[in-house]
Amino acid sequence: MLRGQKVAFRASKRDLERLWACNRESARVWNECLRLAKDYFLQYGRRISKSELQKQTKGRFHLHSQSIQAVCHKYLFARQSAQAAIQKGLHHARYPYKQKKLFNTKWAKDGFKVYENGTIALSMGIHDGTREEPILVHVSHLPKGTIKEIECCYNHSWYLAITYDDGREAKAYQPGRSVGVDLGEIHTIGAFCENGQALLITGRKVRSLHRLRNKKLADIQRRQSKCQKGSRRWKKYERAKRYLLSKSERQLRDALHKTTKQFVDWCLAQSVSDVYMGNVEGIQRNTKKKVHRKQAQKLSNWSFGKVKQYLAYKLAQQGIRLKEIDESYTSQTCPVCQKRRKSSTRIFACSCGYQEHRDIHGARNILSKALYQEMVPWDMPTMLTYLRIA
């Protein structure tokens, strides 16, 4: 199965400068894609094709030919997603239009060579008949498997986003039970299986890690603000900040790995074959009001995205299908009388007498919406398993 991993690397000063140049050049390719697509549309009244876009960009940039193609593919992918979103009626969706100054450069199969000592040679291709000397980067550990693609990224610091095949076969799909999943802050995962089994995995660990990180970060920033920018002490705090961020991200990631593993194990115990998840894009729920909004949102977006990513891989490995469904009103609708209300407490209680733990209520409504296209009551008693992570 294909997997992704971020890896830090070292490179000479000169090669780092060349990587900056690559990402600037990739941005030029992106901007050129925008221009070509626009001109093509104005001239012919239809959208530029993949082959046309590749023909028009080929050999015109100071990059490996596959690196240029990779930008074209990203442009086409962005255009396709925008089209799908527009067709769905999402009003904020737009076709790609933003000019870029930097764009991650990608090296595909023929564009790089990996040596056993951790050195990776990134090819710059042939220009004016001569093969340019490759950029050398050194990593301390490589993911186990066959490396398929390497993307060079900068976000506070340099790293490689490596796509690789871990050599493991995914299990085949076998029809079984269905489960609805609700992601949240209080409980990272709330789930309900059609056999009446429910699961709550507390998000306490994730929340406390996040809180601690923010507290320490604020502390460093307060001290740093008293120093002259660029001074030795300022730089010391800058290093401390980077260290804190990478350490806390590791801890958070570890906690989310454990959480998603617990969920997948539970699914296997229930003979689950299909998991339905609400489409959480841009939605923020179950957040304590006291938490500063901006911070809360940061945690949600980051951790929801990660949970989704980990679930997608871990479930696929077990032959379990993961589907996203439109979750609107699933948390607010009473399945018995269809009345809508917003719950401010942990329990969703309706005037008709129905009541349920809010996160199980949400997961069960997502499941019934997926199976029956409407929210219906379940005539089976709910058995709850409650899990926390160490």
Give the nearer residue to Zn ion in terms of CB position, either 6 or 339. 339
- In the chain, DSSP assigns E strands to 2-7, 105-107, 112-114, 119-122, 126-127, 130-131, 135-138, 146-155, 157-165, 177-183, 187-193, 197-202, 272-278, 321-325, 347-349, 355-357, 383-387
Q: Least distance in Å: CB of 328 to Zn ion?
A: 18
List the beta bridge partners of residue 151.
106, 161
Question: Judged by CB under 5 A, which of 1, 8, 126, 352 binds Zn ion?
Answer: 352
C-alpha dihedral sign at 325, 330, 335, 338: negative
CA distance 224 to 238: 8
Q: Least distance in Å: CB of 285 to Zn ion?
A: 20
376 binds Zn ion (CB under 5 A): no
Contact 301, 293 (CB under 8 A): no
Of the listed pieces 47-55, 226-234, 282-290, 350-358, which binds Zn ion according to CB under 5 A?
Answer: 350-358
Give the nearer residue to Zn ion in terms of CB position, either 222 or 339. 339
Of residues 305 through 344, those in contact with Zn ion by CB under 5 A are 334, 336-337, 339
Count residues binding Zn ion (CB under 5 A): 7
Give the nearer residue to Zn ion in terms of CB position, either 87 or 345. 345
Of the listed pieces 81-89, 163-171, 217-225, 348-356, which binds Zn ion according to CB under 5 A?
Answer: 348-356
Q: Least distance in Å: CB of 362 to Zn ion?
A: 15
Q: Least distance in Å: CB of 356 to Zn ion?
A: 11
Give the nearer residue to Zn ion in terms of CB position, either 305 or 377. 377
Give the nearer residue to Zn ion in terms of CB position, either 242 or 341. 341
Instruction: Identify the CA nearest to 184 among candidates 280, 109, 115, 112.
Output: 280
CA distance 106 to 66: 8
Give the nearer residue to Zn ion in terms of CB position, either 322 or 336. 336
Of the listed pieces 39-47, 113-121, 156-164, 353-361, which binds Zn ion according to CB under 5 A?
Answer: 353-361
102: Cβ contacts below 8 Å, ≥ 6 apart:
23, 24, 26, 27, 154
Residues lying near Zn ion in the complex (CB under 5 A): 334, 336-337, 339, 350, 352, 354
